[in-house]
Structure 1
């Protein structure tokens, strides 16, 4: 909470709400540290704090050890004490909160409150109203502690909606102000105001959304709700703008053009590529043999997940047999790669049929074998008859 004073005073000890409250939930902000200390100083009172960023639940419980000194109580009431000494309250447990103390950036005498803009205080109250056996309700007292300069006569009403949390009592260093009117507090989560990004940030929200969806509640997020175009009536007579194709950068143009100009090229297959080596290492090994990636007449396609690569070469620039000789014995690390030439030049076909028979013999129910099961997944149809059995993982 932003404040012009580091420690605003806690609710006055003579305030009826503070005296009678058995369970209080106090925000984790630094200016509310004195309030947490005052609650911990009363052993008969229970102190709940919000779970940081609502990661594992809604509330954490802070319990002061027996015979705890004032210095130890203040350390427990600090933000470090919340992070290290508070214990999560199971979401399935029931509890009843009597007083909620929140921080504010600005507040008016009607009880309208502005926070830091993240919406955690509003969201925490809405979650508490529908969980822990309705831990809070319309009769729960909400108090804020601020400096006098943060209190306004009236804030613009159009800034507030039904999901915003109002306050009942305003405590400043010089006075206690009770809201002049009663404003309704959040009763439930309004899912249409939440985004998928917010849902991904708060794990407990995903769990509650799943539960509410199962019981038939509408849990559509802001991203899922179609937004009506306010100018839809004025767009019917507008002239439609003809869509133009997005112009590719010169580098992408040349790359796309090169893939269409490879007709008639031969392909050298490289297998047994270790998967723990990045593609850049293979490019460096081939460059050392005189075949630099994207040089004239060379196009290298690497499939690192499958452990294979395809070296497409222009026959007018490179001779097939010379390429095979230059790549003979090429290694990546300690593994010698399997180099196979193009079948158009070698006339040698890989024993695909032999591999197919082995697959059928290993299958205990030959009738269940489909044509898709018989053949291994081959990354390039052009090389289907050139991959040997040792290069394809069963």
Structure 2
């Protein structure tokens, strides 16, 4: 539908689709008090979030961005606007996936500090806070890891930016126990605040992690074992 209507910018199928009006969605999000107060921001690496990543850097916020599909030996990159200025790297370049892969600082999951604001990519969302991405489960998995580590708190804003035509009925994106509900949805037309969820997942349900995720994400099994060892040590 996004391609047929011309809303999509580039191919939509198989992607977190870029869309006409992504800059306005970023603007609408930038007006919120939560965004303005945030200093550390996690953002997905997809094209429709380029405008909000650019706004973050110009506002002096430190960006934490996962490598696409978490498939590298290093899972995350840090983009500090002060460091980029010293290096002479333009924010316009650093806001793109190619730019931050070149100029971001490679870090591990446990080197990401407490996050003030989390942005996830979506294919479809509901006003009740449900979302779906491309179906690989990366966003929910990384959020679960951060919740388990205390990097993301129960009240940390969980936000997405989509075109208004990506809003669907709640029954089309049912929430499962391991899903993190959205707290805000920014579109080109409005900012939607989702009613508070009754509960959010406390961490990763490792029993639901698929064999292909352990196969395709190089550090995942080691991270699971590290977290298990930490929790075992705390219980002694």
Q: TM-score, normalised by structure 1?
A: 0.50
Residue 22 of structure 2 aligns to a residue whose secondary structure is coil
> What is the CA-CA distance between 1:169 and the residue it aligns to?
0.5
SS at match of 1:12: helix
* Equivalent of 2:195 in 175, 180, 183: 180
Work out the CA distance in 1 between the residues paired with 2:160 and 2:135: 16
In structure 1, the residue matched to 2:94 is: 76
1:6 positional shift: 6.9
Specify the alignment match of 1:122 in structure 2: 140
Q: Secondary structure at the match of 2:177?
A: coil
One of 82, 97, 118 as aligned partner of 2:115: 97
Q: How does 1:244-259 map to 2 (within 5 A)?
A: none
Residue 66 of structure 1 corresponds to which residue in structure 2?
85
Query: Match for residue 59 of structure 2?
Result: 42
Conserved 8 A contact 2:116-2:157: yes
- SS of the residue aligned with 2:219? helix
Q: Distance in 2 between matches of 1:175 and 1:103?
A: 17
Greater RCO (CA < 8 Å, at least 6 residues apart): 2
Q: CA deviation at 1:155?
A: 2.9
Note if 1:7 corresponds to 2:22. yes
What per-residue deviation string (whole Å, max 9, x for no partner) do you get for residues 179-230 of structure 1? 134253332111111232221211221112222444677xxxxxxxxxxxxx
The yes-or-no answer on 1:109 pairing with 2:127 is yes
Compare 56-65 and 28-37 and name the one that shifted more.
56-65
Does the C-alpha gap of structure 1 residues 59 and 185 become closer, same or farther in structure 2, counting only changes over 3 Å? Answer: farther
In structure 1, distance between residues paired with 2:156 and 2:74: 20
Q: Residue 137 of structure 1 contacts residue 185 of structure 1 at CA under 8 Å; is this kept in 2?
A: no
Contact preservation (8 Å) 2:184, 2:193: yes
In the alignment, the residues of structure 1 paired with residue 134 and residue 214 of structure 2 have an alpha-carbon distance, to the nearest angstrom, of: 19
Report the Cα offset of residue 53 of structure 1. 2.8
- How large is the RMSD of aligned CA atoms in angstroms? 2.4
Alignment of 1:18 with 2:60, yes or no, is no
Bigger helix share: 2
**TM score, norm. by length of structure 2:** 0.80
1:205 to 183, 195, 220: 220
Q: How far is the alpha carbon of 1:148 from its aligned partner? A: 0.8
1:194 to 203, 209, 213: 209
Partners of 1:216 and 1:92 in 2: how far apart? Answer: 14
The verdict on how the C-alpha distance between 1:100 and 1:212 changes in structure 2, with shifts beyond 3 A counting, is closer
Write the distance in 2 (CA, Å) between the matches of 1:140 and 1:161.
Answer: 19
- In structure 2, the CA distance between the partners of 1:121 and 1:94, relative to structure 1 (3 Å rule), is closer
- Residues 202/68 of structure 1: CA separation in 2 closer, same or farther (3 Å cut): closer
| Separation of aligned partners in 2, 1:63 and 1:25 | 12
State the distance in 2 between where 1:100 and 1:94 align. Answer: 12
- Unpaired stretches in structure 1, ≥5 consecutive residues: 218-394
- Give the match's secondary structure for 2:29: coil
Within 2, Cα distance between the matches of 1:20 and 1:58?
A: 26
What is the alpha-carbon distance in structure 2 between the residues aligned to residue 96 and residue 6 of structure 1? 30
Q: CA deviation at 1:27?
A: 0.7
Question: Against the structure 1 CA distance between its residues 53 and 114, is the aligned structure 2 distance closer, same or farther, given a 3 Å change threshold?
Answer: closer
User: Gaps (5+ residues) in structure 2?
Assistant: 1-15
Cα distance in 1, alignment partners of residues 130 and 120 from structure 2: 13
Task: Give the number of the structure whose alpha-carbon radius of gyration is greater.
Answer: 1
